[in-house]
Structure 1
Amino acid sequence: MLDFTGRVAIVTGAGHGLGRRYALDLARRGARVIANDIDAAEGVVAEIAAAGGVAVAESTSVATPEGGQAIVDRAMAEFGRLDVLVNNAGIARTNEFAGIVYDDVLASLRVHLLGAFHLLLPAWRVFRDQGGGRVVNTTSAVGVFGQRRSSVYAAGKMGIVGLTRVLALEGEPDDIRVNAIAPVAQSRMAGDVYGRLDPKLDPAYVSAVVLALAHHSSTVTGEVVSAGGGRVSRLLLAATEGIFEPELNDDVAAARLNEVCADERVVAVPGCAMDEIDLIRASFPELADFRMAPR
């Protein structure tokens, strides 16, 4: 069992479902936990205390910069350090795109995407000063692959992927590892989506992966990891072989675009944007000695 003794973890959305499980499991393994939830933090803290763990309830909303700062400040005031940030808080706003109202857009993004920023901005300063930290953001297969009635949610969750990738690159020199979990589990938000599969989707399976990513021994960074029902996989953003046309124009593009978009021959899994751009450079033999450099 992974040991988190002496470590301090913030878990947002910790009152129910997956967040509750993360908080309980981290505390069970020795972490001191800031359990954040706007309406149910006290309950999970009581459970942790009853099991002999240490946790503090924090009910500030993640939807504002002030809220994020307050949650990080609470960790520092109570325990003097911060080692793990699990950005788990979420809300459900599903509708066909034609039925969306702008208030739902703002509400969803303020929690899912901006909420991550609100915690990460103050936590990042702490991690850099301490010389390390672990971040587990929450994305979704809905963001990566799409799903009807989920445009707002998907936009926020794909934003989390981009944020995770960039922060992993920037945090590596300071031993700040940043990953995203794409969970599949029983939860209030999921409701009856999974049907007969639901009994197989114990949150414990997802929590096991979150704890592995959050542990100080983990060197994994910049990844999107799908977890559910005991299955764990890497979700990829990849580049296909595509085509190269030195005299490309709109007629050629129109004629070959279906071919390009049907191509499943993966030739690279870029580690950053410049890796993908380097595939263009590689089409020019005269630039063989000019590999694009990450920056």
Structure 2
Amino acid sequence: MDFTDRVAIVTGAGNGLGREYALDLGKRGAKVVVNDLGGARDGTGGSATAAESVVAEIEEAGGTAIASPASVTDRDAVFAMVDQVMSKWGRIDILVNNAGVLRDKSFAKMELDDFQFVLDVHLMGSVNCTKAVWQHMRDANYGRIVMTASSTGLYGNFGQTNYGAAKLGLVGLMKSLALEGAKNNIHVNTITPVAGTRMTEDIMPEQMLEIYSPDKVAPAVVFLASDEAPTNTILGAGAGGYHAAHVTLTKGIMLREQERTAETIAKRFSEIVDREGETVPQSGSEQGALVMGRQGEIS
């Protein structure tokens, strides 16, 4: 895949997954904005060193890149970064929303400030960056945006209620943006990576860190950033495995008025959750249409 003349912004690109994405895109000809606040895993502190180091790697390999230390939570700084990119290169084709932090604790022990901060970085940080590039992509009738969710968002994980809420929120953001961006050739997708990075270094043994190295996720993100990218897709990647996740709808049951009681639902719950014949609606209105289409069963 050739990204010559494409301009890509990758957030959280100073280390780990983001670094691999930036390096791969740069190697393939994209002009890359390496965005990284340079803070610790919990979001504290900050330094431009990490982003500048990745820029140096891209340039040493013959690519073109600039560093940005803007925090994705700072809306003004994000818009200023985008203005700088437009002034320098005149276009923004790709946005990879990868920046993230961890502040793990069980919900009983978690301070709400820590819950809010994780939402601010992952969810609102992605909203800020996406809003800043959205009109430029609409004007160009081209855009590729990648959100970063996780297995925690899709399936849950103990001690990560804040992280899970933010990550599943990004899936919802992606699904609506994919619909809104379709007429302007803006494809919006989600990556759910499993990787050995500083985010996971204290929960994965060393052998697992090697198996789940970040470079094995990068091909999936590069694909989602390409001309060939689908839209409204949740793509999982890790350890050389690639798979899709879906938000599905079971066929369920239709109840006549006299049957619509909690007791009936309890009695027939196994039928409601039966996955035979389940579908994958492509919009919320499609779910409603499926139900409306079955009104004849109870009339």
TM-score range (shorter-chain normalised) is over 0.9
TM-score by length of 1: 0.92
Runs (4+) of structure 1 exceeding 4 A deviation are: none
1:280 and 2:291 matched: yes
How has the CA–CA distance of structure 1 residues 261 and 241 changed in structure 2, closer, same or farther, with 3 Å as cutoff?
closer
Q: Map Cα deviations across residues 93-132 of structure 1 (whole Å, 9 max, x no partner).
A: 1110001111101211111000011011120000001111
Identity between Structure 1 and Structure 2 (%): 41
2:76 corresponding residue in structure 1:
66
1:167 and 2:166 matched: no
Of residues 268, 271, 276 in structure 1, which corresponds to 2:279?
268
Q: Which moved more, 1:46-55 or 1:144-153?
A: 46-55
1:291 corresponding residue in structure 2:
none
Of residues 167, 171, 182 in structure 2, which corresponds to 1:157?
167
Q: Any unmatched runs of 5+ in structure 2?
A: 39-49
How has the CA–CA distance of structure 1 residues 112 and 266 changed in structure 2, closer, same or farther, with 3 Å as cutoff?
farther
1:12 corresponding residue in structure 2:
11
1:25 corresponding residue in structure 2:
24
1:187 and 2:204 matched: no
Counting matched residue pairs gives 285
2:34 corresponding residue in structure 1:
35
Of residues 246, 259, 262 in structure 2, which corresponds to 1:250?
262
Equivalent-residue separation in structure 2 for 1:232 and 1:287 (angstroms): 42
Q: Map Cα deviations across residues 177-230 of structure 1 (whole Å, 9 max, x no partner).
A: 000000011111112434343321121221101001101233x00111001111
How has the CA–CA distance of structure 1 residues 254 and 287 changed in structure 2, closer, same or farther, with 3 Å as cutoff?
closer
Equivalent-residue separation in structure 1 for 2:67 and 2:227 (angstroms): 24
Partner-residue secondary structure (3-state), 2:66: strand
Of residues 93, 101, 115 in structure 1, which corresponds to 2:125?
115
1:229 corresponding residue in structure 2:
239
Of residues 134, 142, 147 in structure 2, which corresponds to 1:132?
142
How has the CA–CA distance of structure 1 residues 147 and 280 changed in structure 2, closer, same or farther, with 3 Å as cutoff?
same
TM-score by length of 2: 0.91
Equivalent-residue separation in structure 2 for 1:210 and 1:222 (angstroms): 14
Q: Map Cα deviations across residues 42-73 of structure 1 (whole Å, 9 max, x no partner).
A: 11111111111110010010012212212211
Output the amino acid matched with 2:283. C
Equivalent-residue separation in structure 2 for 1:236 and 1:286 (angstroms): 27
Equivalent-residue separation in structure 1 for 2:298 and 2:72 (angstroms): 48
